[in-house]
Structure 1
């Protein structure tokens, strides 16, 4: 099992917090993709051990291969 620390993820994102958030969002997306693959092809449920999706996502953030963008947060209008 590989260990990726938040400090390693911060090298490419600018902060530990952002690195972990990017990896979490990526892991959720990978989970949806993998679930779709398993539903389409039941033969993919073999006995081979798979790396955890969170580990895959954190490794991608650590290596700098995860692409992300920050959007400005829209605040609700105060007149409501």
Structure 2
């Protein structure tokens, strides 16, 4: 079992909270792939996503998009 520390996630992203959100979104994308075409085998998708985020190989790229709030005053 691999353990990803908050420091490792924060180093890969702006902060640890953003890192967890990015990894979770990526895991959801991996989950949408058909199971028979998945190259990850028995690995948990959250572990694969965290590994992609924290590895220094720039496998996972993300960008922040500001959205307009639908709340009007």
**TM-score bracket for the superposition, by shorter chain length:** 0.7 to 0.9
Q: Which 4+ stretches in 1 moved above 6 angstroms?
A: none
Which structure 1 residue ranges, 5 or more long, are not aligned?
none
Measure how far apart 1:3 and its partner are. 0.8
Give the TM-score normalised by structure 2.
Answer: 0.80
Larger radius of gyration: 1
How many residues are paired up? 69
Which structure 2 residue ranges, 5 or more long, are not aligned?
none
RMSD, aligned CA: 2.0
> RCO greater where, 1 or 2, for CA within 8 Å and sep 6 or more?
1
Superposed counterparts of 1:1-80, under 5 Å: 1-33=1-33, 36-38=34-36, 50-63=42-55, 64-76=58-70, 78=72
Give the TM-score normalised by structure 1.
Answer: 0.73
Structure with the larger helix share: 1
Stretch of structure 1 that moved more, 1-10 or 53-62? 1-10
Measure how far apart 1:12 and its partner are. 1.9
